[in-house]
Structure formats: C-alpha cells, structure tokens
C-alpha cells in the first residue's frame, strides 16, 4: 500500500540520480551548516526507504558518499539500512505478516531450504553478492522463521562491502555531475569488485560446509 502510494504521488522520482543532481547544492549546504542534523535526517530517510521497501536504496547510498564522504557516508548508510531491515523484519513478524507475505510468497521457494538449514551463513553469502533484491532478503528470513539476532548480524556484516563500493562511487559524483556524465553503477559487476565479493561469499559458504561437517 505504501509503495503504491509512493508511485501514485510520484515520490519515487525524488529517489533518483536526476533528483540528486538537481538538489546536490542544497543538500551540501545543509550538511555544511548542520552536519549532525543532516546525518540524522539521512539515516532516518534511509530507514524509511528500507522499512517500506521503496525503490532507491542505491541512490541513497550514493548520496551518502556524495554528502558525507566515502567512509562516513558508508557508515551512515549501513546504519540506516540495517535498522530499516530490522524494522521490516519485525513488521513481517507482526500483524502485518499477511500483507507482506503476499508480496514475497512466490519468491520464497529458492531461499526456503538454505535459510532453514544454514540461516546466518546462507543469508550472509546472499547479502555479499547482490543476486536477490534487498527487500526480498529482508522479508524472506522473517517469513521463513529465522531468528532475529543472526538475521541482524548477517545483514549488518553482509551489506558493508557493497555499501563501501557505492559510497565510494558517490564520493566522486560531484565531478561526474559537473561534467554532465552519468555514474556507472555497473562497476559493482566488474571483475575487480565482483570477484572479491564472491570470495567473501565463498568464505561464508565455507562456514556452512564446516558446520555441517562438524555436526556429522
């Protein structure tokens, strides 16, 4: 319902690279004048985007890098995304469960067995490599009965590498916008970025294998 309202009102257009380019000077002025308030507003906005599964998570991370620098921006983005994912997880376990379950039910099949057997390590590997949509990986563990603590830990750890990549791209957006260019978000799928992420995901899957071997 919230997502439909966002699209109906055209609010999704404010979570775009075009909107970010148009508003970057005003946003930068706010950060300069009120840095703490700006950081709190950014985190709150990120929580809302993730908690309501709104489009624009990548743009939010890019804007964090643009406004606060690569490392601070990445830290704020990880904080906002993790809290937002936690809120969505808890909503999915609450009275809102039938509503959110309807959205994800048809996509739960490929994740059901892995999350049931190896919750933390399996979710961690999926967070590290962006194969499934972020909102689905927020909902599926809740709907499939994963415990909250390992879900939160896997979410926090798993989103850090990718967030650092996007925040790093965001930190250089000023030059891109001034030159009239468009940032290349496909860089995350380049070998120099994707192979390390795959390596990290493989380490988490090694944890799955080791745990199973130890249990036998």
Output the pLDDT for position 132.
Answer: 77
Asked whether 31 and 68 are in contact (CB, 8 A), the reply is yes
CA 105 remoteness from chain centre: 21
Confidence of residue 82 (pLDDT cuts 50, 70, 90): very high
Of the pLDDT bands very low, low, confident and very high (cuts 50, 70, 90), residue 3 is very low
pLDDT of residue 171: 82
Higher pLDDT, 45 or 57: 45
How far apart are alpha carbons 21 and 43 in whole angstroms?
20
User: In this structure, are residues 20 and 59 in contact, taking their beta carbons and an 8 Å threshold?
Assistant: yes
Q: Which residue has the higher pLDDT, 103 or 166?
A: 166
- If one compares 27 and 130, the residue with the highest pLDDT of the two is 27
Token pair belonging to 206? 């090694």
Domain boundaries, the chain: 2-215
What's the chain's length in residues? 216
Say if residue 188's pLDDT is above 90: no
What torsion, rounded to 10 degrees, do the Cα atoms 122, 123, 129, 131 define? 100
- Mean local confidence (pLDDT), 161-190: 70
Pair 90, 121: CB distance under 8 Å: no
Cβ atoms within 10 Å of 190's Cβ, excluding its own:
11
Task: Using pLDDT thresholds of 50, 70 and 90, give the confidence band for residue 18.
Answer: confident
Which range among 43-47, 102-106, 141-145 shows the weakest confidence by mean pLDDT? 102-106
> 18 burial class (0-12, 13-18, 19+ CB within 10 angstroms)?
exposed
Mean pLDDT of the residues in the chain:
76
pTM of this structure? 0.79
């Amino acid at each position: 319902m919230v997502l439909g309202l966002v699209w109906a009102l055209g609010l999704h257009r404010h979570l775009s690279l075009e909107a970010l380019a148009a508003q970057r000077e005003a946003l930068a002025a706010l950060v300069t004048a009120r840095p703490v308030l700006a950081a709190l507003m950014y985190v709150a906005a990120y929580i809302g985007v993730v908690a309501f599964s709104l489009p624009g998570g990548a743009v939010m991370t890019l804007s964090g890098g643009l406004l606060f620098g690569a490392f601070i921006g990445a830290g704020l983005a990880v904080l906002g995304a993790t809290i937002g994912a936690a809120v969505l997880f808890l909503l999915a376990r609450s009275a809102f469960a039938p509503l959110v379950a309807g959205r994800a039910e048809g996509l739960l099949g490929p994740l059901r067995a892995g999350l049931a057997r190896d919750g933390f390590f399996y979710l961690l590997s999926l967070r590290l490599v962006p194969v499934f949509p972020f909102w689905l990986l927020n909902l599926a563990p809740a709907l499939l009965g994963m415990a909250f603590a390992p879900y939160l830990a896997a979410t926090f750890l798993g989103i850090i590498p990718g967030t650092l990549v996007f925040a790093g791209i965001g930190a250089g957006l000023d030059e891109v916008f001034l030159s009239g260019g468009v940032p290349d978000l496909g860089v995350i799928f380049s070998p120099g970025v994707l192979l390390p992420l795959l390596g990290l995901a493989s380490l988490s899957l090694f944890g799955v294998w080791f745990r199973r071997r130890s249990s036998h």
